[in-house]
Amino acid sequence: MGAIFVAASHTAKSDARTGIQTVVRGLLSGLTRANVDFRAVRWSAWRSAFLPLNAKHSKRLATYVCITDRLPNRLHGSWLLLPEVIYRNELHRVIAYAREQQMRVAAIFHDAIPISHPELVRPKAAKYHADYMTGLCNVDLLIPVSHSAADQFRLFVEKRRLPFPTIYVCTSAGDLFGEERLPAKAAVSSQAVNILCVSTLEPRKNHKTLLEAFELASATLSQPELRLQLVGDRYEGADFVVEIVKAAMARNPNVIWHGKLTDHQMTNLYHECDFTIYPSVLEGFGLPIIQSLWNRRPCICANFGTMAETASGGGCLTVD
């Protein structure tokens, strides 16, 4: 089949842990464990070519990747795998480069939320996502992270009468890299209930409703004591969500916002929590749901959309 070249341009340059970057790191970790012949690479817009990663890039990927001075001269017959979202016409240039090298191209597709709900995403995503999805019609294999994401892509393509690539759905894994899976919690303490919410602070994640519900529950119950731990980075253009969280913390010391954490720190929070809650109303997959289940912690999430699909295997309380 030839080697697989995985484009990890953004993830290799960032310490952030968004859902997509978690997928990229998990993909590389899985390929490594499976002894697959692959190289992680980064796109150089200036050179219009892929370049190898350096040691600093490799460290950010949270797994071992092969460090080389240069890529092979002949890439004919190899696969280029695109797990990240690529904007500003760069996807078309990337695919053109792969065709020049006689490579086959596969891409992971996460969601069409910037198309269906542009008001809920940052302006860059709303502006460029349609062009990005149009470019995905030119890959050899498209890998949606859920059946809901696949349906979103098909609807986009059919509406615009674009060519269909081959589509194969492959749901994301939930393990935290380098961390042992937790045992099931034996019993809930009668003194305190620890709740964990893992989510970027953006509008569609629905933090406002979660915090209102937590405040109501805390006022209603005297025992056990309720504690809510929030994990997630800020989102561009959504500072008002941060202000909502800060106001909730000022009113209730049992609301704690940790920002972004390492996988080891995340494992500790999963160990301490009794259950998780994922209040998002719109997803391509809903990775925190499956991560919660992998860590043997039940999850409260929506009973519609991709969240219901992800929760269908059990272990979740789904609500409207």
Phi, psi at residue 88, to the nearest 5°?
60, 45
On average, the pLDDT of the chain sits at: 89
Whether residue 173 is contained in a domain is answered as no
d(C-alpha 226, C-alpha 139), whole Å: 49
Residue 237 and residue 116 share a domain: no
Phi, psi at residue 256, to the nearest 5°?
-130, 130
Residue 143 and residue 44 share a domain: yes
d(C-alpha 235, C-alpha 246), whole Å: 15
Tokens of 177: 């890299």
Residue 120 and residue 18 share a domain: yes
- The domain that holds 84 is classified in CATH as 3.40.50
Position 285 pLDDT exceeds 90 = no
Last residue of a domain, one of 112, 133, 167: 167
Mean pLDDT, rounded, for 19-39: 85
pLDDT value for 176: 63
> pTM for the complete prediction?
0.86
Query: What domain range is 288 assigned to?
Result: 192-319
pLDDT value for 177: 62
